[in-house]
Every structure is written in structure tokens, then in C-alpha cells.
Amino acid sequence: MKDRARTTLGASIGDVFFTEPLFDALPDVVFFVKDTEGRYVVVNQTLAKRCGVKDKAALLGRTAADVFAQPFGSRFLAQDRAVLEDGVEIEDQLELHLYPNRAPGWCLTQKRPLRDAAGRIVGLCGVSRDLAMADHKNPAYEKVADAVRMIHEQFDGPLALPELARTANMSVAQIERYFLRIFHLTPRQLIIKTRVDAASRMLSGDASVADIAQACGYADHSAFTRQFRATTGVTPSEYRQLLRGG
């Protein structure tokens, strides 16, 4: 498979095979390279574990739609096609994944097209990094603690960035820098994460999707559905079915 990968993608990724042991040693980072059909040609052990397989070789030659539960797999494949066909670069896409044991996990995903010497797209590479818990011992955390508390306590209402900045006694630019340093997220991303976290928990119960949308700060039911799907790849109703094993 490695020989075929070299032929398919050419010299542009020839050296990537030497880095595989490094990526295998990173338990919180998924790494992959795919060909022009979106098939895996290089993966690390973390991705194999997330897909519920012991051997990385089990993923090679397969697409995301082949290895991830639906509808997640189709969504990831569509994302790949946007990179491969249109040269789209995906930058710090906040995503909530549902792993084989139905445990949710947040990550930031990046994907880039790989090009040959003539500029033709010959594949893609990407990483998906787990979001770690905030370091509350970081001296900078105290500076934004009140703004974070506001997000956690008032996510069911409107939250404006200038208001968060005033709460932290900072400028908008300052609070954005501090959030990126501490959470690796922008304030807007943390608001989305907090709301979708709450919604995903509520979806394990019997409340209606409309009621959950209202409880999570979305006056517009359709806006909630769009945001939830953009973050998880599925609608709230589909997510509820996945949680229940449907």
C-alpha cells in the first residue's frame, strides 16, 4: 500500500512515511493523507483507534464513508471532495465527533490539498486535534474567568463579543488573544461548543428539539439545526437516534 501511495501521490508526500512513528506517538492528534479519491494512504495509530480497528492497515484504501458510521462518514467524504476538487483549505473547523462507544469528543480539524510540481491536486493531508481542558492554573485564565463564567451561565441567551470583553475588562482583540491562548478557540467557538455540548446532553432525554433549541440560546429552530449540523455533521434528530443506537 505504501508503494501504491507513492505512485498515486508522487514525490510531494514521499517523506511523510518517515514521520509516521512521530504521529503514532501523539494520542490526541489524528493524522492522515488521502489520494484523489479520498482513500486513506497514510494514517496514524490514533485514527485507527478512533475507528475501532487495531491495525492501521485496515483503513488503507478506504474512504471516510467506509470507516465512519453514517451519516458522519458521508459528511467527512464530502468535506474531502471540497478539498480535492476545489482546493478548499479547512482551517480549525470545530467538530463534535461521536466515537464507536458513543462517547462524544471535540476536536479542531485542518485539511490541505497536496499539489504536484505543476500545481495539480494529487491528494490531501489533514490533522484533527483533540481539544484539551482549559488550564485553570494558567495566570491568563483569571483574566478571562468572568467572561467564561458568563458563557457557561448565560449560553441560553444572546452573548455578544463586546459584552464579554467588557466583562473581562479587555478590548475585543485582547479577549480573542487570551481565548486562543487558553482554549485554542475563539470566544465565538467557545460559545458554540458550550451550546452544542448542552444540546447534545439534552438530546439524550425526551425534550423536543424546539425546546432544546430555545434552552440553548437559539430563538430560531432552523438556526439551531444548521449550527448543530455544521458542528456535528448530523441534525439534532439524527444525533438523538445515534445516541439511542438507532
Q: Please state which of the ranges 2-11, 146-155, 215-224, 230-239 shows the lowest mean pLDDT.
A: 2-11
- Sign of the alpha-carbon torsion through 52, 232, 25, 18: positive
pLDDT at 183: 85
Distances (CA, A) of 111 to 142, 240, 241: 33, 28, 29
pTM for the structure as a whole: 0.73
Tell me the domains of the chain and their CATH numbers. 2-130 (3.30.450.20), 141-243 (1.10.10.60)
* 135: confidence class by pLDDT, cuts 50, 70, 90: low
First to last CA, the chain: 35
Average pLDDT score over residue span 6-11: 47
Q: Report whether 153 contacts 146 (CB < 8 A).
A: no
Closest listed residue to residue 34, CA positions, set 83, 74, 69: 83
Residues 25, 45: Cα–Cα separation, whole Å: 8
Q: Report whether 89 contacts 80 (CB < 8 A).
A: no
pLDDT at 234: 87
Cβ-proximal residues to 40 (8 Å cutoff; 6+ apart), any chain = 32, 33, 34, 59, 60, 61, 62, 63, 67
